[in-house]
Amino acid sequence: MAGFDFRGQTVWVTGAGKGIGYSTALAFVEAGAQVTGFDLAFDGADYPFATEVLDVADAQQVAQVCERLLAGTERLDVLVNAAGILRMGATDALSLADWQQTFAVNVGGAFNLFQNTMAQFRRQQGGAIVTVASDAAHTPRIGMSAYGASKAALKSLALTVGLELASAGVRCNIVSPGSTDTDMQRTLWVSDDAEQQRIRGFAEQFKLGIPLGKIARPQEIASTILFLASRSASHITLQDIVVDGGSTLGHRMIWKRHLTLDELNATSDNTLVAHLGIIYTHIGEDSLEAVMPVDSRTHQPFGLLHGGASAALAETLGSMAGFLMTREGQCVVGTELNASHHRPVSQGQVRAVCQPLHLGRQSQSWEIVVFDEQGRRCCTCRLGTAVLG
Q: Which of 169, 274, 177, 266 is nearest to 219 (CA)?
A: 177
Query: Angle between the 108-124 and 96-106 helix axes, to the nearest 10 degrees?
Result: 10
Long-range pairs for 43-48 at CB < 8 Å and ≥24 separation? 43/17, 43/18, 47/16
One-letter amino acid for residue 102 of the chain: T
Kindly name the residue from 164, 263, 285, 315 that is annotated as catalytic: 315
Q: State the Cα–Cα distance between residues 67 and 65, nearest whole angstrom.
A: 5
| Exposure letters 278-308 (e unless 16+ CB within 10 A, then b) | bbbeebeebbbbbbbbbeeebbeeebbbeee
Q: From edge to edge, which strands make up the β-sheet containing 50-53?
A: 50-53, 34-39, 10-14, 78-81, 127-132, 170-177, 240-243
Rounded to 5°, angle at Cα 116 from 173 and 134:
35
Q: Which helix (H) or strand (E) holds 319?
A: helix 308-324
For the question of residue 289 being annotated catalytic, the response is no
Q: Is 17 helix (H, G, I), strand (E, B) or coil?
A: coil
With beta carbons less than 8 A apart as the criterion, state whether 151 and 177 touch: no
Q: Catalytic site residues?
A: 315
